[in-house]
Amino acid sequence: MAIALPSAERLPTGPRRDLVAAMHDLYDRAGQPATRDVARRTQRNTGYESVSHETVGAMLRGSAIPAWSKVQAMAVALAAMGVANVDVRAVLARLNGLWLEARKVDEISTPSTVPHRSASPSNQRPAVPVRPSPPPALVGDIPVRDSLFVGRDTLMNQLDQALGDRSFGAAVLHGPGGVGKSALAVEYLYQHADRYQVVWWVPANGSQAASTSLVTLAERLGLAWRSSARQAVAELIGELESGDRRYLLVFDDAADPDIRQLLPLAGGHVIVTTSDPEWIDWGLGPAVEVPVMHLAEAADLLRGHDPDISEEEVVAVFHAVGGLPSVLAQLVAVRQVTGSTWPSLLADLAEQRSAPDEAVVRIAVSRLAQTNPGAELLLPLFAWFAPGPVAVSLLRAERGADLEPRLARLLHNPVSFERALRDLTRYGLGRADSVRGQIEVLPSVRQWLPRLFDADEMSRARLAVQALLIAADPGSPDELPSWDKHRAIAPEVRPSGLIGSSLPAARRAIYHQIRYHYLTGEYENAVELAQSAVTNWQDRREDGNEGLILVAQREWANALRALGRYDGARRLTQEALARLRDDDEGARPSLTASHLVDLRIAGDYREAVALARQAADEYPPLRAELAHCLRLAGDFAAAAAADRESPASRGSLTRVNAIAEDLYGLGRLADALRILGESEPGDEVVDGRPIVLARRTAALARRGLGAVSEATVALSRLHRDSTTAFGRDDETALAVQVSYANTLRESGDGYGAHAIAVEAVDGYRRRLGLRNPLTLAAEVNLASTLRARGERRAARKADTVTHGALVDRVGQDHPFTVSAAVNLATDLALAGEVEAAHRLSERAYWSAREHRGAVHPDTLAAGANLALDHAAVGNDSPAEELRNLALHELEDTFGDEHPWVRAVREGTRIELSIEPPSL
């Protein structure tokens, strides 16, 4: 969709608008290309910086002014994409002047340094009035507000100045642990949430946790059809940077540098909290240092909960424990729940021989143990859960868990369990979120757990957590209702040591997690977990568990395959097949199916068919895999028979599309369209891939029936959606791209078709290699666009190479090869080499007639072309006979106005497009 110049209300008159308007002038001259197309063009322009499509969109919407190097790269790309000649040097000179003016205005309106905390109100910049905005449409995953939060006014002002009312703002809250960075961010959210349409808290202590949180946000925003977590996050960032929803994201406890790739850079506000000083140097935004509380702020906190505390007691407490808010809050909680006096608490502190923060935690745990031993029993468990909130449901999954009796009784008794959780909170050791059903032991407490409990207690706690996770495992993640529980378990797998657990069913729970990550598109996580698990289990082989190792290795291969790492996937699958034993035969069908996928991806179609025939005889469910292999081998009649015999779910969209592809390959276009029109997406559709494939087949059938304009519109939309959902090098997205390029060419847009076809060939080369049949098929289609542009010599050269390569890879009679031969014959005829054209055309026609049938549309097209070649060499009688046959059958099938019918009547050659079946 084209991006309009922002309205004057959204982007007022001034230097920034002048710059955006100048860029829009280039954008309009280039035909308002998609932002991804502009981004790709920048990647091909050597000597200039690459620019993401999100940055292109942000620039055109005026929501961000990028660095000059990026503005320059965008301008060069747009100038090259325009039809009219442009003086690029003059354009860049003008843009640079506008960019400098726009940056000056931004610098004036944004303080270059954070005001010193001792600055007086008179020398601070006045607060910018906040425009009223709609109430937040989406607020999620924000921690519970800290009831002990006081003071910090200077820090709140600094944070507000960094964000305020700017279109984009970012701030880094940095400082050591326990100073209150997260609490400050939480308080800012609660005070200013009404400014935003999206408010979201992202746990950023690891890239996996952050990615999972952002995927959840993408789902809540309704961004569907994302095949992988990476694609979902990329689309989310693009959506946020568009500026359509004013957002505030908090990335809490950022440590992993990879987190930087997850931060949007336009369209809203970002807060990062971190203890890592390197974040200050990355230039994200103003750095706000969060120090310990000074005496006055500590006094406010203490008096807020004990108005009668004396000045001497305030000073004594402050000097005893320092200004860490977490420690002061802990001490306040202990005093409130126990009724202790300040002198008695100070005396207890004096007896401790440890740092103040540890000492306060020790006192709290000691008092808790005296009043509620059950609550103390829960504490060491949290050392083996991941940092952050833990789903209470995991702790309650005790019925099937192998737990020591005291803990089992506590978890089984709802009254005792609820009281234990409440007391953890009352003693300042944890915080509960009853709305989300979560409990968290505070980081300031969690760090001391290994020193509060002895090694045996910690070992028992780890075993208990593993037992709880096993008991919580809902089973196979292939059922959608189980995903919420699997999502809750996921972050706890590694901290708990579940991979190396010796408990029964631990390996099955891990396998379910690997499968869950794969199904939800978290392929990198699936690979990492599967690799760790398989390696660990192979080192500790146990009777009866070889089958789990094999299926885990299969999921590992599946995830590698989804990431395009095909060699690794094929190696893993072959290793697993080689290790199969008699008692592991249950794993053979699924591993064989995986191996068949590897063969299809590699383009080894004949080998895949041979193996699939053998396997389908032994395992009938593999008939669907056999049909898949037969389609790619070009035997659509046999594929249709295998699909009819397949016991696969008859209602699934995947199976319906498979049958439609069979019918399309057989030339029964109306039947293919009919069966697709009768189907509805079922529950199997998670990432939208079956929908994309079915809509592609329907569009191709419509195009084949003559509705070229309708097919062009459908495939244009599908091309955009599939590239966004799956990535530009994904096999499904590439198949759609090929179909879109072919349809553009048939609609008469040879130049547009060429640009799309070039990208498709490049994608196949990157993904599958130079001699893969799908790469070669895409090159045949590319040659057709060259002919459409009048580049006959280049088309002939390409067709000669690809035809020879296809003969070698898939054989003389494969539909890919026949189509390539028909088009190469056209090259020869256009070059005046009528004898060579006639020989090749005749061979292609009879091959098509034998293997696809006398009245298949492609056979008739090949026959119509052969009729022209007969006439060119003086064979007038066969020429007239073939022409009349092709014309009669094509008229009978498609009607008088079909493009191919007109071509036969006018004596022009027909181009054959290759539309590969889905992999």
What digits encode the pLDDT tens for the residues 571-619? 999 999 988 876 566 788 999 999 999 999 999 999 999 999 999 999 9
Q: Could you give the CA distance from residue 12 to residue 14 in angstroms, rounded to a whole number?
A: 6
Residue 791 and residue 903 share a domain: yes
Residue 310 and residue 208 share a domain: no
For residue 300, pLDDT beyond 80:
yes
Q: Give 842-878 as a 3 state SS string.
A: HHHHHHHHHHHCCCCHHHHHHHHHHHHHHHHCCCHHH
Structure tokens at 473: 């495992």
Percent of the chain with pLDDT strictly greater than 70: 91
For residue 639, the model assigns a pLDDT of 96
Closest to 507 measured CA to CA, from 487, 474, 536, 527: 536
Q: Residue 107: pLDDT band by 50, 70, 90 thresholds?
A: very low
What digits encode the pLDDT tens for the residues 712-762? 999 999 998 888 888 888 999 999 999 999 999 999 999 999 999 999 999
Q: Residue 230: pLDDT band by 50, 70, 90 thresholds?
A: confident
For residue 898, the model assigns a pLDDT of 94
For residue 116, the model assigns a pLDDT of 32
Domain count, the chain: 4
Residue 262 and residue 172 share a domain: yes
Q: Could you give the CA distance from residue 771 to residue 805 in angstroms, rounded to a whole number?
A: 7
- The amino acid sitting at 238 is G
Residue 274 neighbours by CB distance under 10 Å: 22
- Return the higher-pLDDT residue of 690 and 570: 570
Q: Note whether residue 204 is domain-resident.
A: yes
Q: Note whether residue 68 is domain-resident.
A: yes
Residue 188 and residue 301 share a domain: no
Mean confidence (pLDDT) of the chain: 87
- Range with the poorest average pLDDT among 19-23, 401-405, 678-682: 678-682
For residue 917, the model assigns a pLDDT of 92
Residue 301 and residue 285 share a domain: no
Residue 147 and residue 95 share a domain: no
Q: Residue 637: pLDDT band by 50, 70, 90 thresholds?
A: very high
Domain end call among 289, 324, 346: 289
Q: Residue 104: pLDDT band by 50, 70, 90 thresholds?
A: low
Q: What are phi and psi of 174, to 5 degrees?
A: -130, 155
Q: Note whether residue 397 is domain-resident.
A: yes
State the pTM of this model: 0.78
- Return the higher-pLDDT residue of 660 and 305: 660
C-alpha distance from residue 357 to each of 177, 306, 348, 583, 868 (Å): 11, 21, 13, 56, 91
Domain end call among 415, 433, 453: 453
Domain end call among 453, 481, 511: 453
Closest to 239 measured CA to CA, from 77, 61, 78, 73: 61
Q: Could you give the CA distance from residue 470 to residue 762 in angstroms, rounded to a whole number?
A: 46
Residue 874: give its domain's CATH number: 1.25.40.10
Compute the average pLDDT of residues 774-792.
96
Closest to 92 measured CA to CA, from 127, 61, 53, 48: 48
By DSSP bridging, strand 268-274 and strand 169-174 are parallel
Residue 347 and residue 285 share a domain: no
- Can you state the angle between helices 229-241 and 708-726, rounded to 10 degrees? 100
Enclosing domain of residue 176? 133-289
DSSP string, 794-848: HHHHHHHHHHHHHHHHH-TTSHHHHHHHHHHHHHHHHTT-HHHHHHHHHHHHHHH
Q: Could you give the CA distance from residue 284 to residue 679 in angstroms, rounded to a whole number?
A: 49
Residue 305 and residue 279 share a domain: no
Residue 223: give its domain's CATH number: 3.40.50.300
CA angle, 459 then 461 then 465, to 5°:
120
Q: Note whether residue 798 is domain-resident.
A: yes
Residue 206 and residue 87 share a domain: no
Determine contact, residues 890/905, Cβ cutoff 8 Å: no
For residue 831, pLDDT beyond 60:
yes
Coil/strand/helix, residue 791: coil
Q: Could you give the CA distance from residue 909 to residue 7 in angstroms, rounded to a whole number?
A: 51
Q: Note whether residue 811 is domain-resident.
A: yes
For residue 259, the model assigns a pLDDT of 85
Residue 163 and residue 65 share a domain: no
Residue 64 and residue 167 share a domain: no
Compute the average pLDDT of residues 522-549.
86
Determine contact, residues 626/593, Cβ cutoff 8 Å: no
For residue 127, pLDDT beyond 80:
no
Residue 380 class from Cβ within 10 Å (0-12 exposed, 13-18 middle, 19+ buried)?
A: buried
Closest to 491 measured CA to CA, from 467, 507, 461, 513: 513
Determine contact, residues 802/817, Cβ cutoff 8 Å: no
Determine contact, residues 192/269, Cβ cutoff 8 Å: no
Q: Could you give the CA distance from residue 18 to residue 847 in angstroms, rounded to a whole number?
A: 63
Q: Could you give the CA distance from residue 185 to residue 251 in angstroms, rounded to a whole number?
A: 10
DSSP string, 157-175: HHHHHHHTT-SSEEEEEE-
- Return the higher-pLDDT residue of 107 and 395: 395
Alpha helices by DSSP H, listed for 176-261, are 181-192, 207-220, 229-241
Half-sphere exposure of 743 (CA within 13 A, CB side): 31
Q: Give 103-151 as a 3 state SS string.
A: HHHHHHHCCCCCCCCCCCHHHCCCCCCCCCCCCCCEEECCCCCCCCCCC
Q: Residue 110: pLDDT band by 50, 70, 90 thresholds?
A: very low
Our CA dihedral for 208, 210, 215, 216, rounded to 10 degrees, sits at 120
Q: Note whether residue 658 is domain-resident.
A: no
Half-sphere exposure of 842 (CA within 13 A, CB side): 14
Residue 326 and residue 261 share a domain: no
Q: Could you give the CA distance from residue 260 to residue 790 in angstroms, rounded to a whole number?
A: 47
Q: Note whether residue 821 is domain-resident.
A: yes
Residue 602 neighbours by CB distance under 10 Å: 17
Q: What are phi and psi of 668, to 5 degrees?
A: -95, 75
Q: Note whether residue 159 is domain-resident.
A: yes
For residue 886, the model assigns a pLDDT of 94
CA R_g for the chain: 33
